Structure 1
């Protein structure tokens, strides 16, 4: 009798072991199944188009998992890059057997939208709001002593000088003249400046510099920046553009430049510094004096620069605007980019999207890899100045190149066009306010 109980218990243990083993295999199968991975990676919020198929799973999972889409009755109307865009938000839930919730998220359904892909090489110049501190410089007084008046008062590299003695300063010369005049007349100067997100004021005593014969407070400052990049897109109706795909930062401080005014014009590429491991390559270009187009810079954001374009902007590969591919439509696989590697000629090159990162809201939403033999031969892959090159997949503009991997020039990041458009919408809303 006792032996029978032991055998019965052994059978229960074996059944449990088999169930655990089968469950483990099932979990492994789920983790490797692309449809289930799509479900697990379903972002909390993404955009899709009107008449686009509802979110769903395919194959055998369509028999087990039910997708429910419920309107939240939120009708959103935003003045977009092209025209007023209407959208409606939905709550989407995935349920096992239609009962047990697995995943949920918010879907914003938007009307279709079309843009002209860029690819033109552009020269960018911009002037900062105020004058940026980019370094500390010792002032040698009459006793030969090196002093740092501004640094000792608490002004740091990256701070923005706004006013000196209640007078706005816009250039490095404005700062130099105001400090010298204040030093001569009263021996001190009131400086209003921005430190991170705070507006502060300090009283500083300038020192008479024997070397220059002027009063100084010991700062290196900069009031403008310039460089070469790539145009990402142009709206044919509103003439708004997006470019670069990433924020413009100061070369010395690596901080975002607050734009006072700026412009973009055509640039001609005259040489390429090929990228290699540990050393990103670079396009070397010059501004075109008789540029066929010119744009303003209204905004410098995490996903690029935006403004209004005048003149003729032509991409020979696209005679008209093409549809926008929203985040939900971007997929791993082949795509094309458009950029200039010689003169002003836009060329088409093959790339592969190796990874899509839906949960990132910055300018690093995709990992892209250059596969085009000619581009690899000429540039080594992605190089500086290529930022902003539009990415087209399945006939839709889905993003722009933004960064290169320092240790692998064949690969880099791309930003969703959706994120750039959202920045354009913000521009429009501010102008309309």
Structure 2
């Protein structure tokens, strides 16, 4: 009798396991109580196909979706499973001006970053006072002797006005935690030193992804700007974007990423301020009096969320000569809808013969180039594959919008995801 019960239990467990992994059951479980669509989806009668895409339904014959007359509710039936009622809500479209412009990015860090150490001759040995005191590469100096430091000159002035018998009370920030460190001053060949290499600025060339015409908020690059030595992200105190002109192209090849050789405009030609540097790029506010010059036919485009992106043809906007923005063909090889922010949600491949001839594929400086599919902005180029210069990663646009602060409707839509 015990064996019979055990066998029955095993069979039931197997059936239960098969049931919960069955796509039909999973589809029913994943049906939300509310679907949120843009007004354009409602007007174009795309709600049924939108629900099918959102539920990741492969065989659309398995699911029956019926809208009520007002399109405020949908009855969803998955094969022989019970029907489920879900609400339908429409919200205004999010429309952005696509970028493609070559821009220069200049960042000044919050505090002075320790990027390395050097040794000086002491009485018996060579030492680095800063390292001996417990400082680490990547620490950001916030203040010295109670005085806030923003520029490298601030540190130099304090050192020059101090006596070699003094110890500096240095406040540093490490992994968002502040700590106080006493560092002894030593006499070097060129004056007082603490044996540390410091930096407070970084710059580079990239591509503007978008800006929101009403607010002037922008997003660019598609990836974080890190210090070249420490590889740690620059925490922005002040930052700007300026015009940039591409003078030449260093063509990429497998195992050797290419690069745009560009010249930044003067500091007087600032296009906007950078307020955030994150894993999805740099974000901030454009100067409305100096908005980038766009063709007269450059109109705001709607965005597409990750579940709307399809494998197949798409386009990128980028500059390969001067300041001229051009369209080039690519292919979406893979797109993975993500519930949590990630900067590598798509795999893309350059298919445009002209771009392949000029650049060899994806090159440095192309990061941030907006990707357009079916008239919608779907994301931005972020990385190139080292072993295949024609292919790389891209980020879905929704995560960049959140970083830019254009997330009013995104948060609302995700509640129903």
Same fold (TM over 0.5): yes
> Among 377, 382, 403, which residue is 1:397 paired with?
377
Partners of 2:104 and 2:241 within 8 A in 1: yes
**Which residues in structure 2 correspond to 1:264-283 (within 5 Å)?**
264-283=241-260
Q: Provide Cα deviations, 1:127-182, integer angstroms capped at 9, x if missing partner.
A: 100011111111223x4731111111111111111011111111222223223433
Shift in CA distance, 178/39, structure 1 to aligned 2, threshold 3 Å: farther
Which of the numbers 316, 320, 328 marks the counterpart of 2:295?
A: 316
Select 1:350's aligned residue among 329, 342, 346: 329
Counterpart secondary structure, 2:314 = strand
Q: Cα deviations across residues 41-94 of structure 1 (Å, max 9, x unaligned)?
A: x8999975242514127999455446699xxxxxxxxxxxxxxxxxx9x99988
Residues 46 and 145 (structure 1), Cα distance of their counterparts in 2 relative to 1, 3 Å cut = farther
Seen in structure 2, the aligned counterparts of structure 1 residues 334 and 136 have a Cα distance that, compared at 3 Å, is same
TM-score where L is the length of structure 2: 0.79
- Who is 2:386 aligned against? 406
Per the normalisation by structure 1, the TM-score is 0.77
Encode CA deviations 1:375-422: one digit per residue, 9 max, x unaligned.
111111101100110100001111111111111111111111111111
Distance in 1, Cα, partners of 2:367 & 2:315 = 14
Other-structure match for 1:331: 310
Is 1:125 the equivalent of 2:71? Answer: no
Q: How many residues align?
A: 374
Choose 231-240 or 419-428, whichever is displaced more: 419-428
Once the two structures are TM-superposed, the CA of residue 427 in structure 1 deviates from its matched residue by 9.0
Task: Give the distance between the partners of 2:118 and 2:31, measured in 1 at CA.
Answer: 49
Q: Which residue of 2 aligns with 1:206?
A: 185
SS of residue in 2 equivalent to 1:298: strand
Match of 1:262 among 229, 236, 239: 239
1:108-119 alignment, distance < 5 Å = 110-119=91-100
Show the counterpart of 1:49: 38
Gaps in structure 2 of 5+ consecutive residues: 1-17, 410-417
Tell me: CA distance 1:181–1:323, structure 2 relative to 1, closer, same or farther (3 Å).
same
- 1:254 offset after TM fit, Å? 1.1
1:88-99 equivalence runs, <5 A: 95-99=78-82
Q: Could you say what secondary structure the match of 2:233 adopts? A: coil
Deviations 1:281-314 (A, max 9, x none): 1111111239876111111122111111121313
Q: Distance in 2 between matches of 1:369 and 1:130?
A: 40
- Secondary structure at the counterpart of residue 230 of structure 1: strand
Q: Judge which range, 49-58 or 163-172, deviates more.
A: 49-58
1:64–1:323 Cα change, 3 Å: closer
Does structure 2 retain, via aligned residues, the 8 Å contact 1:64–1:97? no
Q: Distance in 1 between matches of 2:129 and 2:75?
A: 60
Separation in 2, partners of 1:270, 1:60: 47
| Residue of structure 2 in register with 1:6 after alignment | none
The verdict on how the C-alpha distance between 1:290 and 1:426 changes in structure 2, with shifts beyond 3 A counting, is closer
Tell me which moved more, 42-51 or 271-280: 42-51
Three-state SS of the structure 1 residue aligned to 2:130 is helix
- Quick one: which of 203, 207, 222 aligns to 2:199? 222
**Aligned residues of 2:331 and 2:350 also touching (Cα < 8 A):** yes
Larger mean Cα displacement after TM superposition, 317-326 or 335-344: 317-326
Other-structure match for 2:358 = 378
Counterpart of 1:285 (choices 245, 252, 262) is 262
Q: Cα–Cα, structure 1 residues 224 and 108, in superposed 2: closer, same or farther, change >3 Å?
A: farther
Pick closer, same or farther for the CA change 1:351–1:291 going to 2, 3 Å. farther
Native 8 Å contact 2:244 2:263 kept in 1: yes
Q: 1:266 to 1:395 in 2, by over 3 A?
A: same
CA drift at 1:365: 1.1
**CA 60–118 in structure 1, closer or farther in 2 if over 3 Å, else same:** closer
- The corresponding residue for 1:136 is 117
Match of 1:425 among 401, 405, 408: 405
